[in-house]
Amino acid sequence: MNDSGSALHDLDSNLRGSLLLPGEPAYAVRSKLASARNQRHPLAIAQCTGVADVVNTIQFARGQGIDFTVLAGGHELDGWGLQDGVLALDLTPMNGVLVDPRGRRGVVQAGSRLGIMDRETAVHGLAVTGGTVSDTGVAGLTLGGGIGWLVRRHGATLDNVTAIDAVTVEGDLVRASAEDNPDLFWAMRGGGGNFAVATSFELDLHPMSPTILAGSVIHSAADAPAFLRHYREFMLDAPDDVGGMAILLRANGPDVPADRHGELICVTILVYTGDLHEGERVLAPLRSAITPLSDTVRPQLYTTLQQVFEGPLLSQEDRRTYQKSGFLPEMSDAYLDEAMDLMKASPVPRAGERDGTLITISAMGGAFLRVGEESTAMPRGGANFYWEAIASHARVEEDEIWTGYVRDQMAPRLRAHSGPRAYLNHNSLDDDAAEFIPWAYGADKFARLQKIKSQWDPHNLLRYNKNIPPEGQARPLPEASGQTWSS
């Protein structure tokens, strides 16, 4: 056994979880990330079953002078959770969710996925904002923000966090809350995984019926511009119980009849999370504003809604996903015209295939803005609406067709009509990352984050992420760090 092999043997014997090594079937399974753009071969994957495994793995890495990454749900668009030749802390075995129904509090371990959290809270008639895809990791989502159907009602996921337990880069236990290390608490709500390794989140939970009103209305490309203007006016005055996302896309995939293939449509998902009868009354004006091609809004389980995007476009294994997003304090007519023009000029997928680009426009405002820009590190950009431009395709040789269209056409042209700041969880990074990340936060927030980073991670060991370097340091490229330990 060589040096690195015997050192890893030492780590293995200090873990309750498994140490997955190259060549093992479980290593291959766990190395798969949400976007197939990220194919990685880590040195080893330490499956942490509890806080002690996290502490031991960090102390091992520090003792050996090797880099480590942190992996939760694996949905990070740039795949930071796994890096070639780098030891990965896999938190997914830590996926417990404890609910205190009387105190309306939840403790969610950092390896949990949204679907687990929703399932365990719904059984008590409670809920908290999550994302819109059930296998996204709670940790990465919450450390960056957390935008989902309940965002107008309860803010982002991180607005509901009351405490975070974590392990520092020294391997020490730390608690971040309004009382304990308040600066760290502020930074870990929006600053991503830059400051410490979160092991669990304490969250406020809210009463919500497991059955809510939800579904989609679909409009043709001809009706979409007028409908989207109704959507805008409706959402600006809508009660917080309303959630919505309009999606401009080309009909594609094996279920679409040949004569409709590639047709531009607008699918608007509408959600009402209060009383069902009241929801019918509240949503009626928008549902009937322009007669839709179809209307599937009906009572359904919230946990079913949380799987509405599963499979088809975003979360299949072979999908090469790339994404940009922006905040809209106002949604101007010029923005809507630009979005329509971009979709009309977008590449047309092959018949029967699921490749495509799309633009989503989510309703924000409500509780998301009421908490205030300074309350957490998450940029909010005064957003009453929020767009995402997404490319998803299968063939590497077609990256420039799909990814290139979002990167070079959709993102700059939609951003020209958007406000400043950006939600980093929904932005793939490009060559301009060193300028884009500070811009996303704004100068004051970024400076405060750098200061807190200097205190908790002065050597930027937690740098495989949307990185915030310590004060006075440029972000080192992972390849240039000299610390990776190739197997």
Ligand X SMILES: Cc1cc2nc3c(=O)[nH]c(=O)nc-3n(C[C@H](O)[C@H](O)[C@H](O)COP(=O)(O)OP(=O)(O)OC[C@H]3O[C@@H](n4cnc5c(N)ncnc54)[C@H](O)[C@@H]3O)c2cc1C
Where on the chain is the footprint of ligand X (CB under 6 A)? 34, 69-77, 80-81, 91, 110, 131-133, 136-137, 139-141, 143-148, 192-193, 197-198, 314-315, 321, 425-426, 464-465
CA–CA gap between residue 162 and residue 237 (Å, rounded):
29
**For ligand X, which is the closer residue by CB, 132 or 273?**
132
Query: Cβ 310 to ligand X, closest distance in Å?
Result: 9
- Quote the least distance from Cβ 127 to ligand X, whole Å: 15
Backbone phi, then psi, for 325, in 5-degree steps?
A: -155, 165
- Supply the Cα-derived Rg of the chain in whole angstroms: 22
Transcribe 24-90 into DSSP letters: SHHHHHHTB-SSTT-B---SEEEE--SHHHHHHHHHHHHHHT--EEEESS---TT-TT--TT-EEEE
Q: Which is nearer to ligand X, 346 or 425 (CB)?
A: 425
Nearer residue to ligand X within complex by CB, 131 or 155 = 131
| DSSP code per residue over 418-445 | S-S---GGG----TTHHHHHHHHH-HHH
Cβ nearer to ligand X, comparing 290 with 460: 460
Token digits of residue 306: 């949380």
Taken in order 187, 191, 196, 201, the sign of the CA dihedral is: positive
Closest separation in Å from C-beta 419 to ligand X = 18
Residue nearer to ligand X on the CB measure, 30 or 250: 30
Which C-beta is closer to ligand X: that of 417 or that of 426? Answer: 426
Task: Read off φ and ψ for residue 461, nearest 5 degrees.
Answer: -70, -35
Return the number of the residue (70 or 452) whose C-beta is nearest ligand X: 70
3-state secondary structure at position 411: helix
**CA of residue 114 relative to chain centroid, distance:** 11
Shortest separation between residue 409's beta carbon and ligand X, angstroms: 21
Q: Between 77 and 205, whose beta carbon lies closer to ligand X?
A: 77
Nearer to ligand X, 197 or 228 (CB): 197
Among residues 161 and 290, whose Cβ is nearest to ligand X?
A: 161
Query: Nearest 5°: phi and psi at 248?
Result: -95, 125
Taking the C-alpha atoms of residue 213 and residue 300, their distance in angstroms, rounded to an integer, is 6
Identity of the residue numbered 160: N
Please, how many CA atoms are within 13 Å of residue 403, restricted to the half-sphere of its CB? 21
Q: At which residue do the structure tokens 């497991």 appear?
A: 210
Measuring CA to CA, how many Å separate 183 from each of 75, 229, 393, 417, 457?
Answer: 27, 41, 41, 34, 14
Spatial contact of 114 and 127, defined as CB atoms under 8 Å apart: no
Do 53 and 17 contact (CB within 8 A), yes or no? yes
What's the gap between Cα 295 and its chain centre?
Answer: 28
The least distance separating ligand X from the CB of residue 370, rounded to whole angstroms, comes to 18
Q: How far is the CB of 86 from ligand X (least distance, A)?
A: 11
End-to-end CA, the chain: 12
CA angle 66/69/71 to nearest 5° reads: 150
Q: Name the minimum Å distance from CB 169 to ligand X.
A: 11
145 vs 292, which CB is nearer to ligand X? Answer: 145
Least spacing, CB of residue 7 vs ligand X, in Å: 22
Residues 80/464, Cβ–Cβ less than 8 Å: yes
202, β-bridge pairs: 107, 163
Q: What are 90's strand-pairing partners? A: 47, 71
Give the DSSP H or E segment for 337: helix 333-344
Work out how close the CB of 466 gets to ligand X at its nearest, in angstroms, rounded to a whole number: 7
**In angstroms, what is the minimal distance from the CB of 252 to ligand X?**
17
Report in angstroms how near the CB of residue 314 gets to ligand X at its nearest. 4
In the complex, the smallest distance separating the C-beta of residue 29 from ligand X, rounded to whole angstroms, is 15
Q: Which is nearer to ligand X, 268 or 290 (CB)?
A: 268
